[in-house]
Chains A and B, each alone.
Chain A
Amino acid sequence: MNVACSDRERIFEDGTTAEWAALEQHAVSCPFCTEEIRGWKSLSVVAKELRGYSDSPSFWPRIERALAEEAARNAQRAKRKRWLSFLPNFSPAWQTVLAGALVLVLAISGGWLILHPRGGKVDNDKSLLKSSALKEVETAESTYELAIDKLAAEAKPQLENPATPLLANYREKLLVLDSAIAELRAQAGLNPSNAQLRYQLLAMYQEKQRTLEEVLEAKP
Chain B
Amino acid sequence: MGTMGLALPWRARISSTLRERGTRVEPSEHLADGPNPAARDALSEDAALAAGCRSGDLHAYERLYRMHGARMKNLARNVLGNPTDADDAVQETFLKVQRGVASFRGQSSFLTWTYRILINTCYDARRSRQRKREVTNDDSEETPRLEPRAPGAHPTLRMALERALEKLTRHQRDVFLLYEVEGFRHAEIAGMLEMTETASKNTLFQAKKNLRLMLEPPRNSAAESR
Contact = CB atoms under 8 A, between A and B. Distances in A.
Contacts of A49: 152-155, 157-158, 161
**Chain A: interface size category:** 35 or more
Interface string B145-158: 00001101111011
B176 interface: yes
B25 A16 contact: yes
B11 A41 contact: no
B223 A32 contact: yes
Interface residues of B, number: 59
Given A9-B205, A47-B161, A63-B91, 9 more contacts: A16-B30, A39-B212, A42-B18, A44-B24, A49-B157, A52-B74, A53-B71, A60-B66, A70-B99
B10 A42 contact: yes
B126 interface: no
A152 B184 CA distance: 124
A47 B184 CA distance: 13
Contacts of B70: 53-55
Interface in B138-197: 149-150, 152-155, 157-158, 161-162, 176-177, 180-182
A28 interface: no
A67 B98 contact: yes
Interface string A39-61: 11111111111111111100110
15 contacts: A15-B23, A41-B23, A43-B211, A46-B14, A47-B176, A47-B181, A49-B154, A50-B158, A51-B74, A52-B77, A54-B150, A59-B87, A60-B69, A63-B91, A67-B95
